Amino acid sequence: MQITKVLLKQWSACREGYQWFIAKFPAGEGSYHDIVVALYDDKRAADARWLSAKCFEHFGDEFLPVEMASIDAVSASIINSELPEGELNSSGDDAQIGSS
């Protein structure tokens, strides 16, 4: 599913989000999956949620499999990221478990 700068303008994307998109995707388009992964990599979760909501509004039910695949990719990235030694965020408020 392709997202273009034209769509983002039609959807009234914020200026900062639009500029981020153009910097990351200079061709003016990208797949939803690639955009969402890049947003989370750049700690722009609010923008990712905004884009998801707009895609559901615009594309309807055909968007669901695309969203599920992107959630899987982002989750895998988070799970596979390295935590500092001795730190395990196993429950709320960044719980830490130290073991020796």
Domain boundaries, the chain: 2-76
Residue 21 makes CB contacts below 8 A (sequence gap 6+) with: 5, 8, 13, 30, 35
b/e per residue 26-40 (b: at least 16 CB within 10 A): eeeebebbebbbbbb
pLDDT digits (tens, 9 = 90+) for 15-32: 999 999 999 999 999 998
pLDDT digits (tens, 9 = 90+) for 45-72: 899 889 988 988 888 777 666 666 666 6
For residue 56, the model assigns a pLDDT of 83
Element (H, E) at 18: helix 15-24
For residue 65, the model assigns a pLDDT of 64
Secondary structure of 57-85 in the HEC alphabet?
Answer: HHHHHHHHHHHHHHHHHHHHHHHHCCCCC
Residue type, 29: E
